[in-house]
Chain A
Amino acid sequence: MIETKDKLFGIVDLNARFELTKFKPVRAVLKSRWMPLLPILINLFMFVIILLAAFTGGLSAGNYNFGIMIVWILWWVLLMMMLVPGFSRAWCMVCPFPIFSDWAQRTRLFDVKPGKLGGLGLKWPKKLSNMWVMNIAFLVTTFFSGFMTVLPIATFILLGIIIIGAFVIGLIFEKRTFCLYLCPVSGFQGLYSQFATVEVRRKDWEICKNHNPKTCYVGNEKGYGCPWNRTPFDFQKNTYCGMCLECLKTCPYDNMAINLRPPGVDLLVDTKREPRGLDEAWKAFIMLGIAIVFYLAFQGPWGFFKDMVRGVTLPGYLGYIAFHTVFNLLIIPGVFFVFAYLSKRLSGNTEVPLKSVFTNFAYTLIPMGLGVWMGFSVGILLPNGSYILRVLSDPFAWGWNLFGTAQIPWTPVLTGIMGYIQGAILIVFFAFAVGYGWLLAKQIYADVKQAKRGFIPILTFLTLITLVFLWLFVG
């Protein structure tokens, strides 16, 4: 836990924590090896249904397909609106994709087999031990977004690649290398989970200091050493913590805890072991850019752009890919760079390298982007949520009616005030972005005076982004 005197908005104590695991039954449940295995198995079953529906759905209409609806409406929206901002990487806790490689490495599904893990166990190259591969993987995945939501088989292909990829990578590389550096769903969860209101952290450093060997890292008969290659006894950022709960099991002193905390605390973390980096900055740019492009493509007014994204004509589609790539990798960072440059000029500080001004302030885009994505998700959920009830009752469009909801017509909810809901969410997250921006400014610049002046361009940038989206949402 970082110690900071700063208070968010001047009132929120960022050191405040509420330990959820102090309740005995909670800790007992989390220490059971059925947790998270049981939810994973249930989830695996769900994904089997999703895959089967996406496969049998083939090229037919997406809006009645269980695979598409659950993945892109329910799952995606849940991720963006609840799981990540609320519970950090709670999805990864119950994610079924890596279960096969875990099984292959451990040769046990439930039990703990002490000793070396199976598989080739290679180390992932240091150079790639960051978000860059995921940045690209995610960007490339969004090239196909126009098909993913329309053609069930496209969703099948994507999920299939992820599942097979997770398995094969798990055979070749150690532990959860796939999750750490390759999974397309991982990057934004890692990035945005820095904002989450939940964290897994050690409690008392004194206990850890004298505990050797550190079983949370190497494992013992109760559980495996951190599959995500963290050092549970001292990490400070949610980014790469998959919440797999092994460390709660392996710590003999019950020194690991799950805490509730004020949102966004990790944004202020910048240590040698967990430095802020350009990879995460770019992830933030990409996520923001994709939100803009998606908004224009799926909820915006331009039919021609929609057609480009859907690949109606090949040149149009290639145009979209080119635009999308340049926009996300160059234009957004470029614009932000201008503001970072202005920030440095205005602050009058000559010592701070421009690069760190740029990188550090990019972290304001984490709350900003999250707000934009939540707004976008509301725009998916409210109009299309009723489809979910349908597909639950008739997952394969075979004329089933499991829960009696198969005939529910398409009923958009609250679409009249949807724009205002989106706007309200956006403004709340804008406030967080500004709040943390100010704290970051104080970290970056030498004194409050410089910080104030240097913060002005960043504030302008955040305001502009917010206004653009307010205009898009509310119209």
Chain B
Amino acid sequence: MKITKPIVIAITLVLTIAFVALVYFGMTRARGAPVAVPPLQRATLVSHYKTQSLDLTQDVALADWADIPGTAVELVYQAMIPPWSKGLIPAVTAKSFHNDTELYVYVTWKDESENRALGVGEFSDAVALMFPLSNDAPPSTLMMGFMGKQGVNVWHWQATQDTEFWSKKSVSADAYSDFLYPFEEQETLTIAKSPLTSAVSDLLAVKVTTTTAKATQNVQGRGVWDKGAWHVVFKRALKATNAKEDAAFAHGARKLMAFAAWSGDKGDRGGRKSISDWVQLEFR
């Protein structure tokens, strides 16, 4: 066959088109089969204004929360740092309101057993709220909340501490092991906790495993276990006492927050927990 001009042109065209098509195909499939990725969807928890304040010293006023709409927050295993939990708490339901001076957050989740005592191989049920301290915390970077310069403010409610504080009775005769929220790998013996000022530990974490109790404990809380579910209420002044350590809230503002929950009878403690993605907290 004699190679003539039209043949050369035809070959060139065919090769070029085939090559471009191949590259196009390669690029579109370069990261594997193309799939539709749903846009980021973040749960919103609305904190409505309400002229009411709750007195936690009596009990958890469950009735006061009945008609406030709740937000279901999905939890997943904390799997980034082993060991992990042996049983997932799949979700918590959160509610909130404020009265311009105080913020209330209510969290409830299903738990078959009430674990308020500590012992060898016995662990406490717990729940925690986490707020990034910086207001421009990059969205959806739960971990970065820790990594960021300012860190996060964590409100950690534990059933044992609740018992100790409200019932004024010791949960364990001996020294027991405890985990500071939330990523400690080593079991650490708790330092003398007394005198307890609250059922909720008000913590500051800047990096993973640097969680420390703040000098001023500003959060109150109380929990009750009823018919296979925990109901825990947190209470804090809307304004931050110390902007460097306390999450700041305001009427009309928005704030990111995240949840974590522990189930004592499943052996949850420390990093063995279920955690949520960011939730948008909105003050109205």
Contact = CB atoms under 8 A, between A and B. Distances in A.
Contacts of B22: 55, 160
A167 B30 contact: no
A156 B23 CA distance: 8
Contacts of B19: 160-161, 164
B3 A119 contact: yes
B27 interface: yes
A153 B23 contact: yes
Contact of B26 (A104, A120, A153): A153
B29 interface: yes
Interface in B249-273: none
Interface in B18-42: 19, 22-23, 26-27, 29-31
A168 B31 contact: no
Given A160-B19, A168-B11, A60 B3 contact: no
Interface in A141-169: 153, 156-157, 160-161, 164, 167-168
A160 B23 contact: yes
B197 interface: no
B133 to A, nearest CB: 28
Contact of B31 (A59, A157, A160): A59
Contacts of A120: 3-5, 8
Contacts of B8: 119-120, 168, 171-172
B11 to A, nearest CB: 7
Q: How large is the interface on B (under 10, 10 to 19, 20 to 34, 35 or more residues)?
A: 10 to 19
Given A58-B26, A104-B3, A164 B31 contact: no
Interface in B115-150: none
A57 B30 CA distance: 7
Interface in B41-79: none
A86 interface: no
B5 A59 contact: no
A277 interface: no
Contacts of A160: 19, 22-23
A156 B24 CA distance: 12
A164 B14 CA distance: 11
A318 B30 CA distance: 25
B89 to A, nearest CB: 35
Contact of A171 (B11, B26, B31): B11
Interface in B67-109: none
A118 interface: yes
B23 A60 contact: no
B3 A58 contact: no
Nearest to A152: B30
B30 A153 contact: yes
B2 interface: yes
A120 B7 CA distance: 10
A59 B28 CA distance: 9
Contacts of B5: 120
Contacts, number: 46
Nearest to A105: B3
B170 interface: no
Given A120-B5, A164-B19, A58 B11 contact: no
A172 B4 CA distance: 9
Interface string A42-63: 0000000000000101111000
A396 to B, nearest CB: 14
A157 B20 CA distance: 9
Nearest to A104: B3
Contacts of B4: 120
A118 B2 CA distance: 7
Given A58-B31, A119-B3, A120-B5, A167 B23 contact: no
Contacts of A168: 8, 11-12, 15
Given A120-B3, A120-B5, A171-B3, A60 B11 contact: no
B189 to A, nearest CB: 38
A167 B23 CA distance: 18
B27 A58 contact: yes
Contacts of A153: 23, 26-27, 30
Contacts of B27: 58-59, 153
B16 interface: yes
A276 B173 CA distance: 95
Contacts of B15: 164, 167-168
A453 to B, nearest CB: 56
B179 to A, nearest CB: 33
A55 B26 contact: yes
Contacts of B31: 58-60
A208 to B, nearest CB: 33
Contacts of A60: 30-31
A55 B26 CA distance: 6
Contacts of A59: 27, 30-31
A446 B31 CA distance: 65
B30 A164 contact: no
Contacts of A58: 26-27, 29-31
B139 to A, nearest CB: 21
A308 to B, nearest CB: 23
A55 B3 CA distance: 31
A159 to B, nearest CB: 11
A164 B23 contact: no
B115 to A, nearest CB: 44
A153 B209 CA distance: 41
Contacts of A104: 3
A367 B205 CA distance: 58
Contacts of A167: 15
A57 B26 CA distance: 9
Interface string A113-149: 0000011100000000000000000000000000000
B3 A164 contact: no
A161 B23 CA distance: 11
Nearest to B7: A171
Nearest to A118: B3
Nearest to A157: B23
18 contacts: A58-B27, A58-B29, A58-B31, A59-B27, A104-B3, A118-B2, A118-B3, A119-B3, A119-B8, A120-B3, A120-B5, A153-B23, A153-B27, A153-B30, A156-B26, A160-B23, A164-B19, A167-B15
Given A58-B29, A58-B31, A119-B8, 5 more contacts: A55-B22, A104-B3, A156-B23, A164-B19, A171-B8
Nearest 6 CB-CB pairs, A to B? A58-B30, A59-B30, A171-B8, A168-B12, A119-B3, A164-B15
